[in-house]
Amino acid sequence: MPQSRNRQKHHTHQQAHHQQHSAVQSHPVPYKKNKTSWFFAIFVGIIGAVVAFFLYKMNWISAVSGAVIGGIFGYLIGNFISKASKTR
């Protein structure tokens, strides 16, 4: 005697409820931080602080301003490099 075919039952209302419930509980994907720009900001900031410190005869204000200016330029350079690498 042939066996009856067993089909999977369709439960669209339960599947929709399950997907809606899981979407609320799931965590959003975190934004990937741009590590290249922060690396260059810190690296160029330290170099800027050292150069400004010795260039202006060991003045601490010039070292801090050199670190800030170097950090800004380093961040911009890092962003440029990361955008250029993403386009390839």
Q: Are 39 and 78 in contact (CB under 8 A)?
A: yes
Alpha helices in the chain (DSSP H): 12-25, 35-55, 60-87
Cα 69 → chain centroid = 22
The reported pLDDT for the residue numbered 74 is 95
What pTM was estimated for this model as a whole? 0.59
Q: What is the pLDDT of residue 18?
A: 57
What pLDDT sits at residue 66? 95
Block means of pLDDT (10 residues each) for the chain, 88 residues, are 70 61 56 78 95 91 95 94 82
Q: Please give the Cα distance from 39 to 6 (Å, whole number).
A: 60
pLDDT of residue 30: 61
First to last CA, the chain: 64
